[in-house]
Amino acid sequence: MNNRNFKLPEDLELLNSNYLQWKPCMKNLLTLFGYYHLITRTETNKESTSADKLDPRRKEKALAILCLNCDVKMGDQFILESNDDPSTFWEVINKSFSPNLIDENKTKPSVLIDSMIAMWVIINLPSHLKLIGEIFLQNYNGDKNPPLLKHLWEEFHLYTQRHNHKINSNTSALVSIQGNPTTNPLNSNSSRQNQPKNFPCCSPGWHNPLTKHKEEDCSYLKPKNSKPTVALNTQALIPSNSVIILDSGATDSMFNQLSYFVDFIESPRTIVLANGSQITAKGIGTVKIKLPNSHLKIQNILYCPELSNCLLSIGALLKNHYILQPLDNNKFQMIDQSKKVLLDGDYSSGTLIITQGQKHQTNSILSVSNRIMTLHQSSGHPSSNYLSKMYPHLNIPPISCLTCDLCKMTKMPFPGHFPKPSSKGESLHLDLCGPITPPSESGAKYFLQVVYSFYQYVWVFFLQSKSEAKDKVKNLILQIQKTPESMVSNIVSNNGTEFKNFDLLSFFQKEGISHLVTSPYTPQQNSIAERGN
């Protein structure tokens, strides 16, 4: 049988975007040759035994049919994951592309490919849907779990629900508004409650000329610098100029240091980022990367000094038939067709970072400011003057240390205070402390502290329960008021139920005593009683 019978047309080969079209065609082809039940594991033992006798090499043929109808790079990737088993090959394809299996993270390669596809979708969103990608990337910034297609779809669904229309109607609405800005096509299909406002407004990526502001001042047309840049897949936690990153969003590889280049040709060109901003590439050349056991030379690398990190395009590497192979512990390898390891790295932070043999010469030397900050911290955080005396051979600039700033900060005095007593016995400050573990020998778990504000005299009463506090307060007040020229006018306490209860409030009202309470969770207002603790 001719090989052409085993192969689908070229436009039906499995790519990143045609899985739903490819799967039924592939199912029909495998059914035609009797291999579909083999790869889906739906054969009975009797059927499998008889089929193996008739065709002992049917597993190899089924695997060959699957590989012939996949993209070369994908076929190589899935063969490594399936260990040359056609059933596993079919399962890996379904796990990688089928939406209902996107949560089954049983293999690292499926998660990695899924994350790469999600990033590709975000980068290629239409201009009026860029906001979805920006919101999605903001939610996963700094997260160790990589973004997946299911998460992107959920964010997209929430976005369309908030705006009360789907993507197709959104696109047609924008086209209709551009043709006739005074009419809104959403008005005819939406209820009165959900009708948009009548005044003219702009949309993401389009300026309405009927608005009052000018086109150059339209916020919908200006790139938002505070949003993350999709094309440069870097993180704020990664030190600038310190790593080489495999970037799924970059169409070309770009380095920010000329010292990596072994040959260089000046050829200025402009590079447009995903957020609409532009940077300038000074030229193109060949770079040499020092790896743990070898050196890697890569051609056609752009020199972009404005970048914060060096970027290697995953797409450019895959075009050279290099294979990205995930490992355990969030590691990965890049191998060639002969399975020789070219480079390895780590993606635990969500970014593919290459492991270098040693840092580049320009990166291995700490900057002067970093060395001075290290000396400042190791010496016990002295000031610039004292650090200059300790290291007179160094030129010590003024030091800006966050730890020093925080440690030298003091709290402002607490505003406000209660009336100061003008005569003895006028004011008493109360505070109850406990429970105390273990209790005292007499069984006391609490103690009541009463401060005589005029003389700063302190009474301490040991209590076995909070309910005893009200009787102690009553007896003490009656005892003080029997002293000549001693009348209690004010009682200061917190909002505890041991002080704010019906018995005490009735007693205070009967004796003509004002009960002043502090604000909740603000012991500073009753500082006289708190200091005694």
Quickly state the pLDDT bin for 446 (edges 50, 70, 90).
Answer: very high
pTM of the predicted model as reported, rounded to 2 decimal places: 0.28
Query: 75 vs 37, which has greater pLDDT?
Result: 37
pLDDT at residue 359 tops 60: no
pLDDT for 70 equals 86
Residue 14 has pLDDT above 70, yes or no: yes
User: And the tokens for 51?
Assistant: 């089929």
pLDDT cut 90: percent of the chain above it: 2
Contact indicator for 86, 66 with CB cutoff of 8 Å: yes
Is the per-residue pLDDT at 236 higher than 50? no
Q: Lowest-confidence range among 304-318, 341-355, 465-479, 494-508?
A: 341-355
- Whether 180 shows a pLDDT value over 70: the answer reads no
DSSP state letters, 26-73: HHHHHHHTT-HHHHTT---HHHHHHHHHH-TTHHHHHHHHHHHTB-HH
Residue 304 near residue 282, CB atoms below 8 Å: yes
Report, as an integer, the average pLDDT of 496-503.
88
For 180, counting Cβ atoms within 10 Å of its Cβ (0-12 exposed, 13-18 middle, 19+ buried), the class is: exposed
Distant-in-sequence contacts of 289-293, Cβ < 8 A, 24+ apart? 289/244, 289/260, 289/343, 289/354, 289/356, 290/356, 290/357, 290/358, 290/360, 291/342, 291/343, 291/355, 291/356, 291/357, 292/344, 292/355, 292/356, 292/357, 293/357
- Mean of the per-residue pLDDT values for the chain? 75
**Extents of the domains making up the chain:** 3-101, 112-189+198-217, 244-361, 368-407, 427-531
Amino acid at 374: T
Is there a shared CATH topology between the 244-361 domain and the 427-531 domain? no
What is the rounded distance in angstroms from the CA atom of residue 122 to the CA atom of residue 130?
8
Instruction: Calculate mean pLDDT across residues 449-459.
Output: 84
Q: Which fold has domain 427-531?
A: Nucleotidyltransferase; domain 5 (3.30.420)
Among residues 260, 337, 353, which one has the least CA distance to residue 301? Answer: 260
Tally of residues, the chain:
533
pLDDT tens digits, residue range 86-141?
A: 888 888 888 887 654 444 444 445 667 777 787 788 777 787 777 777 777 766 65
Range 244-257 average pLDDT: 78
Residues 6+ apart with CB under 8 A from 531: none
> What is the C-alpha to C-alpha distance for residues 192 and 184, in angstroms, rounded to an integer?
14
Distance CA(436)–CA(533), nearest Å, equals 13
Comparing C-alpha atoms, which of 312, 310, 344 is closest to residue 329? 344
Structure tokens, 11 = 């436009």
CB 159 within 8 A of CB 135: yes
Q: What is the CATH number of domain 244-361?
A: 2.40.70
**Within 13 Å, how many C-alpha atoms sit on residue 124's CB side?**
11
